[in-house]
Chain A
Amino acid sequence: MSRTLQAPVTVAFDYTRSVGPVLERFLAGLRDATFVGGRTSDGRVVVPPPEFDPLTHEPTVDFEFLPSTGTVASWTWVSEPVAGQPLDHPFAFALVTLDGADTPLLHAVDVASPDQMSTGMRVAARWSDERVGAITDVVFVPEGTALPEPRRELGQEPIGRLITPVKLDYVYAASAEESAFYRGLAEGRLLGQRCPACGKVYVPPRSACPVDGVPTSEEVEVSDTGTVTTFCIVNVPFLGQRITPPYVSAYVLLDGADIALMHLILDVPAEEVRMGMRVKAVWKPRDEWGTTIENISHFAPTGEPDADYETYKHHL
Chain B
Amino acid sequence: MRDVAIVGFAQRQLKDYDGSPTCAELLVPILADCYEQTGWTRRDIGFWCSGSSDYLAGRSFSFVSAIDAIGVLPPVNESHVEMDAAWALYEAWLKIQTGEVDTALVFGFGKSSAGVLRRTLALQLDPYTMTPLWPDTVSLAALQARAGIDAGVWDEKAMAEVVDRSMTDAESNANAIRKGGSSVADLLAKPMFADPLRKHDCAPVTDGAAAIVLAADDKARDVRDRPAWITGLSHNIDSIYLGMRDLTVSPSASRAMEAAGGADGVEIAELHAPFSHQELVLQEALGLSSDTRISPSGGALSGNPMFAGGAIRIGEAAQRIWDGSADKVLGHATSGPALQQNLVCVMEAK
Contacts and interface: CB of A to CB of B under 8 A. Distances in A.
A173 B19 contact: yes
A211 B130 CA distance: 43
A236 interface: no
A213 B119 contact: no
A130 B142 CA distance: 31
Interface stretch (B24-32, B83-91, B216-224): B24-32
Contacts of B144: 74
A135 B19 contact: no
B61 interface: no
Contact of B119 (A4, A19, A84): A84
Nearest to A202: B68
Contacts of A27: 128
A93 B243 contact: no
A95 to B, nearest CB: 6
A77 interface: yes
Interface residues of A, number: 66
A9 B58 contact: yes
Given A79-B194, A169-B116, A174-B20, A208 B68 contact: yes
A103 B123 contact: no
Contacts of A74: 143-144, 146-147, 150, 247
Given A171-B114, A172-B58, A213-B71, A48 B129 contact: yes
B194 A78 contact: yes
A19 B128 contact: yes
Nearest to A216: B68
B225 to A, nearest CB: 28
Nearest to B19: A175
B71 A212 contact: yes
Contacts of A104: 242-243
Interface string B46-78: 000000000101110000010111111100000
Interface in A131-172: 134-136, 162, 164, 166, 168-172
A178 to B, nearest CB: 7
A219 B197 CA distance: 49
Contacts of B175: none
B57 A172 contact: yes
A15 to B, nearest CB: 7
A112 B58 CA distance: 34
B244 A103 contact: yes
A207 B71 CA distance: 11
A108 interface: yes
23 contacts: A74-B143, A74-B144, A74-B146, A74-B147, A76-B146, A79-B193, A83-B116, A103-B244, A106-B129, A114-B192, A135-B128, A135-B132, A168-B58, A170-B57, A172-B114, A206-B68, A207-B19, A207-B20, A208-B68, A210-B68, A210-B72, A213-B68, A213-B72
Interface of B: 18-22, 24-25, 27-28, 31, 42, 55, 57-59, 65, 67-73, 111, 114-116, 118-120, 122-123, 127-136, 139-140, 142-147, 150, 192-197, 239, 241-244, 247
